[in-house]
Amino acid sequence: MGNFSNCFLIFLGLFFASVSTDNIFVLVFLWGICGLIAYLVIPAYDQESASTAKKYLIMFGASHAIMTTGAVMTFIFGSSANISDLMLETGPSKINAAFMAFMAGSLFKAGIFPFHSWLPSYTYKAPSAYSSFLPVFAEKLLGVYLLVRICHYIFIISDPLRISVLALGSLTIISCAMMGLIQSDYKKALGFNSALQGGYVVLGIGTGSVAGLIAALLYMLNFIIAKSGLLMVAGNMSVKTGTTHVSELGGFSKKMPLNSICAVILALSVCGFPPFGGFVPLLILYRDIIETGLLEGTSATSLLWVVWLAAAMAGTALSITGFARLNKGIFVGRKFGKLKQFVGEPASLIPPVLFSFLSFFVGLFTLLWLISEIFSKVTGPYVYTFDVYWVVAGLLIFLSIFSGFILYRAMETFSFPRKSLFFSMFYSMAYSGYLDLYYLFGRLIFIANRVLSRLHDGVLQTYLAWVIAGLILLLIIL
């Protein structure tokens, strides 16, 4: 724990320095140090945790290298290293390349598809105290910060790139929601749900409007509060039972009722259930997507508003289904296995209770105080008036929540339809690694290594042939 305390203080200082600097190269440098700190706190106590640390380091290193390239390209094309002096208009291929390279680092930190696979593994293997701060709070917040900077302050995004950002958010929501449905471990399910919630933030940022940006920032605030509280509940559960696997748990509400109540409240908040903190940002996001699609339906981004709205609704419904399944199995279901003797500490109840109250507070005072006094100073003035779009958005949220409970009951009654064509194809691809960028690049490197190893056969004539071929290639290029 001493290592974590030291890393925590160092990371916190680097975090505030990262969000305070106006220089893109200082930002990239501090970003790299933050990533190394996050790697150092993963305890390699078994082979799986060591593999998780290795996966994080490789994915972080690759994304950081691409991001550094993007920073250099941005400096060259923008003639300045100061973020306040940059406003590059995408469209030309070189500016688009700089934008996409810069995005790689932020997508990795925020856990967005296809850079998301490290987040569930990190959340699952790291102790709850670690995972509630680093991947949920600091790492994801850094990623969202850079996403906002890139999409609103460094680049002026064209419609094709905006569609790409919105598509990545939608894919993150759908894929991570479906993966979360079949997890048997509470912490790993929270990891996939963390990536899912990042998809909503990307949707809000990708809309390009003040309302969408406010929805993204509010959603991020609620996500940090609720998900940190849920991971604290998972930590208490692990101390009490020695496990977070659903199949080995049951009847947890009888042993720790306050933790169980907090888990339900925080899960409802994450899913956007009123009056908790997730409802208002989800309401603003739904309304913004609907209004943009209906009133500004000429652009390519607006014409696809039904797709973005459907993805958001599906994510809400599947989140409700996943949490209902987990909470029933852990808190209501019958006991399995032998539980450890628990020596309760009242202090362990403080974080879940505190986060539950914060979630309720944020839900009540979002429109009255948070938007007008805090977020509007960052995003610009946001004037909202009651109209029919609010009613439609609210009804769609309730429809999503109701659909989630209906789907849960259907799963309980008829079992999960994993053998259907769509679900079987999706889960087959997921378990084969085809949705994991780390696995795909690993396979490509392995294939390239085998091909190159065959070319190095130790025969002098072969090496001479490659030297001559290289010289001819250089002469053609030059």
> Could you give the 3-state DSSP secondary structure of residue 245?
strand
pLDDT value, residue 378: 56
Compute the average pLDDT of residues 242-251. 72
What are the φ/ψ torsions at residue 89 (nearest 5 degrees)? -90, 120
Question: Contact 91/158 with Cβ under 8 angstroms?
Answer: yes
Joined tokens for residue 153 = 């302050």
Question: Contact 280/363 with Cβ under 8 angstroms?
Answer: yes
Question: Contact 202/168 with Cβ under 8 angstroms?
Answer: yes
pLDDT value, residue 370: 59
Joined tokens for residue 453 = 């190893």
Q: What is the H or E stretch that residue 374 is in?
A: none
| Digit-coded pLDDT (tens) for 192-229 | 888 888 888 888 888 878 888 888 888 888 888 888 88
pLDDT value, residue 372: 56
Across the chain, mean pLDDT equals 77
- Report for 102-116, 234-248, 271-285: range of highest mean pLDDT: 271-285
What are the φ/ψ torsions at residue 250 (nearest 5 degrees)? 155, 145
Whether residue 275 is preceded by a cis peptide bond, meaning omega within 30 degrees of 0, is yes
Compute the average pLDDT of residues 29-33. 83
Residues shown for the chain = 478
The residue type at 266: L
| Helices 93-110 + 24-40 axis angle, to 10 | 30
pLDDT value, residue 129: 64
What CA–CA distance (Å, rounded) separates 173 from 319? 10
Terminus-to-terminus CA distance in the chain, angstroms? 58
The residue type at 44: A
User: Nearest Cα to 231, choosing from 200, 263, 257?
Assistant: 263
Q: What are the angstrom distances between the C-alpha of 112 and each of 16, 140, 160, 192?
A: 22, 10, 19, 11
What CA–CA distance (Å, rounded) separates 276 from 362? 7
Checking if the pLDDT of 271 tops 80, the result is yes
**Least confidently predicted of 99-108, 258-267, 293-302, 420-429:** 293-302
What CA–CA distance (Å, rounded) separates 392 from 410? 26
Under DSSP, the state recorded for 155 is E
Model confidence at 357, in pLDDT bands (50, 70, 90)? Answer: confident
pLDDT value, residue 375: 56
User: Nearest Cα to 397, choosing from 300, 290, 476?
Assistant: 290
User: Nearest Cα to 193, choosing from 27, 325, 9, 65?
Assistant: 325
pLDDT value, residue 301: 60
| Digit-coded pLDDT (tens) for 140-176 | 777 788 888 888 788 888 888 888 888 888 888 888 8
Model confidence at 337, in pLDDT bands (50, 70, 90)? Answer: very low
- Higher pLDDT: 42 or 340? It is 42
Q: What is the pTM of this model?
A: 0.83
CA 12 distance to own-chain centroid: 20
Compute the average pLDDT of residues 38-65. 75
**CB under 8 Å, gap of 24 or more: what pairs does 233-238 form?**
233/259, 233/262, 233/263, 233/266, 233/352, 234/128, 234/186, 234/187, 234/190, 235/127, 235/128, 235/129, 235/132, 235/348, 236/348, 236/349, 236/352, 237/186, 237/330, 238/128
Q: How many helical (H) and strand (E) elements, i.e. helices and strands, does the chain have?
A: 21, 2
Q: What are the angstrom distances between the C-alpha of 372 and each of 89, 140, 352?
A: 30, 25, 28
| Helices 118-125 + 47-78 axis angle, to 10 | 140
The residue type at 13: G
Q: What is the H or E stretch that residue 128 is in?
A: helix 128-133
| Digit-coded pLDDT (tens) for 364-406 | 666 555 565 555 555 556 666 777 888 888 899 889 889 888 8
Domain residue limits, the chain: 1-156, 162-435, 441-477
Question: Contact 129/4 with Cβ under 8 angstroms?
Answer: yes
pLDDT value, residue 335: 59
- Report the share of the chain in percent with pLDDT over 70: 81
The count of other CB atoms within 10 Å of the CB of residue 477 is 6
Checking if the pLDDT of 411 tops 80, the result is no
